[in-house]
Amino acid sequence: MSIEQLESIAQAMVAPGKGIIAIDESNTTIKKRFDGVGIECTEDTRRAYRELLLTAPNLSDHISGAILYDETLRQSSQAGVPFTKIMLDRGILPGIKVDKGPHALAGFPGEVVTEGLDGLRDRLKEYASLGAKFAKWRAVITIGDDMPSSTCIEANCHALARYAALCQEAGIVPMVEPEVLMDGSHDIDVCYDVTEVTLRSLFASLYEQNVMLEGAILKASMVVSGKDCPEQASVEEVAEMTVRCLKASVPASLPGIVFLSGGQSDEAATAHLNAMNQMGPHPWPLSFSYGRAMQSAALKLWSQDMGKNFADAQKTVAQRARENGLAALGQWKKSA
């Protein structure tokens, strides 16, 4: 695939008023979500839940793509139609999570590095044949005493860059996700410093690996106070600090940036995105790639009566997509 085609896909991912829904939870993670609402976690319930999300009416009005788990990319609806066909027919790009998760970084207690590069070239080739148009790799950066180390940041950014180069080789747009965790009592200034250092390291690594930025997307964490910080930054401060950090570290040639919710409440994730876009214009579109902030209300509703509440849960997903789509345009208004 040419860089022009990769660039076209990347631009479609951040089309005005549209973002990404993340439904790429591993079977272990989704079991925890299901356990929390009293749903048995089986292949069939996982399939049914993902069908609820992917077939929600009018979803494509504000959703450009969905990040899937390996199992989901291979599944079909109850009627036997592959999920990838359903998505492409509705104008929703199929994406795939390809990393193998964070593992302890030897020699650095408390820090992790994401694994999954072994065999990735062949896996990407298969995913492309199954219809995947973009992929995602998540790195985890923890703030704490003497953390993060420069070694942790460099190791994770190198892995992100190698992954991105392999994606482009396979004709798949890489979404690079260096998540700076909210966990901790640090203030917003510490989060700013760590996020800026991480992003600078990431783009240096992408450059070293000959990754074409025009055919890639950044999935970024917002610059926020640690969740245990006694002084929580306002919506306006989060927006101002996040945009300032991005402008200091992200090249303008990147087609777009989508944010992860990272443990924020549904409303906070939407409000922060909206405030950032009201500050625009920016060098790149700022949109969303939310998981829990898109799904939590729908999952709770569906769990109460799967058959009866299926349609209502879908409406909830579509409404969350609409609210975040408006926030991506700076047009969201908090309901009374």
DSSP notation for 118-162: TTHHHHHHHHHHTT--EEEEEEEE--BTTBS-HHHHHHHHHHHHH
Cis preceding-peptide flag for 281 (omega within 30 of 0): yes
Amino acid in position 301: L
Q: Catalytic positions, please?
A: 177, 219
Query: Do residues 284 and 253 make contact, with C-beta atoms less than 8 angstroms apart?
Result: no
The two tokens of residue 161 are: 């860059």
**Whole-number Cα distances in Å, 57 to 51, 163, 237:** 12, 34, 35
DSSP notation for 212-238: -GGG-EEEE------TT-SSPPPHHHH
Per-residue 3-state assignment (H helix, E strand, C coil) for 26-40: CHHHHHHHHHHHCCC
φ and ψ at 97, to 5 degrees?
-80, 130
Return d(Cα 306, Cα 49) in angstroms, integer. 9
Count of beta carbons in the 10 Å neighbourhood of residue 330: 16
Q: For strands 134-141 and 93-97, give the pairing.
A: parallel
φ and ψ at 223, to 5 degrees?
-85, 105
